[in-house]
Amino acid sequence: MFNASMELNQATCKQAWLSKDARFDGKFFIGVKTTGIYCRPVCPVKLPSFKNVTFFKTAAQAGANGYRPCLRCRPETSPGTPVWSGTSSTVSRALRLIADGDLDEKDLAAFAGRLGISERHLNRLFNQHLGASPIAVVQTHRLHSAKRLIDETTLPMTQVAMSSGYSSLRRFNDHIKQTYGLTPSQLRKVKSTKRQALHRDSYVFKLPYRPPYNWQYLLDFLSKRATPGVENVVDDNYTRSIGTPTAPGSIRVSCDPDKYQLICEIQLSTPADLFIVIEKVKRIFDLGADPQIILTGLKTDKTLWSIVKKNPGMRVPGAWDGFEIAVRAIVGQQISVVGATTVMGKIVQQYGNKLPQKSATEFLFPTPEILAKLDIESLPMPKARAATIARVAQAVAAGKLNFNNNQQPEQMIKQLLSIKGIGPWTAQYIAMRALAHPDALLEGDLVLEKKAAQLYAKGDRIKTAKLLEYAENWRPWRAYAAMHIWNLT
């Protein structure tokens, strides 16, 4: 067992490489000295001699050492470095911001400033945890994004370059040629994977995950909480409307368990925001999780382990939009899941933005600016709760509260608790789903306490204080522990 922030365990890497173990996909990469190529552990090619390989923590480290990506296993399509390594929250936040294109628009000093550290310290952290500098990580991310669009779409190369974060077509062409020895057009011609024929403005991407993965639990969770008019689950497909910085659209996501991947179809009138959409889909379905590390952490509690080991593929559901989840959490205070879903549908009907007839869903969820002015008398819910929604919306609209990846979970929880009408359960639920906080704990959740009582006290009532005591053994994976306990029948 290892973690990207540590020195790689050579014996573990060798065994995973020899067995082509999908559980290690994206956790390390293999450089082949005789060819100058780096591969994923699951690469289908014949294995070279072990004396001719070297292991790297990340694709960026392999690239920085002069290796180029394999055209067969396509490192750009791997699940990537696990975001929550459990060792550096700063690096985790930085990786999420890079995935959102944040460093494309800022110099390194400004980027480090957003993270609250110096440029020098940021470089030190990246080299320690990822084996490469922030600039090398950004360049690799940009290259991988471009390669995916070259391989999986028919977009003109100018759009590929711009959508991947390159500042000019020339820089894009030079980087591709320097890395692969081929121009982008030549690279597209030698691509072996067949591109799908799709409707205009439709794109399909395959998003790998590390097994095991409990797709059905995630789908059931999202289905029960699907906001009418905005999202739905039909025939094992999750569909929802999406708003991006440049255009509205929709996504449809399904699972291919035989190939350890989700299939994501994106309807979007402009490709500029494709990778923003992809990153958000990854977060909704927790594709960055490393099950082995999480399971190792939860194994220390033998009582909890009795149920965890039966369902090792549990994930924590994320969210498309943090503000939308905040509204959901407030609406859901002290009422059933079904009741909260009904109220969310009423909010959308009354305040949502109607989409064109051809859209897969009817509405976009209302913006903070719209709900900042909502009529608290108009909704079928307690006025105090409606007023809380308005207060949160006003804070977001004014820029005083945000749910972006620059936030430390603890910082956002503190901000939320300062708003009248938001308690610990609401703040923790928002952190869990909006920021993918792995150690969020739904303090005071009655269902969690009831089911924990089944597990720990043979049905006797467990109070919040006792649950918090048990939960100390689940750190830093309390959100995952809660999912397992919630799943108890």
Active site residues: 39, 445
Tell me which amino acid residue 245 is.
Answer: P
The neighbour count for residue 116, using CB atoms within 10 Å, is 12
Residues 6+ apart with CB under 8 A from 156: none
Give the whole-angstrom CA distance, residue 177 versus residue 181: 5
Helix (H) or strand (E) holding 345: helix 337-351
Handedness of CA 103, 38, 91, 83 (dihedral sign): positive
3-state helix, strand, coil split of the chain in percent (to 5) is 50, 10, 40
Non-local (6+) Cβ contacts of 170 within 8 A are: none
Half-sphere exposure of 73 (CA within 13 A, CB side): 26
Amino acid at 270: T
Kindly state the tokens that stand for 33.
Answer: 């000295």
Strands (DSSP E) contained in 17-137 are 29-32, 37-39, 53-56, 68-69
CA atoms of 216 and 333, how far apart (whole Å):
26
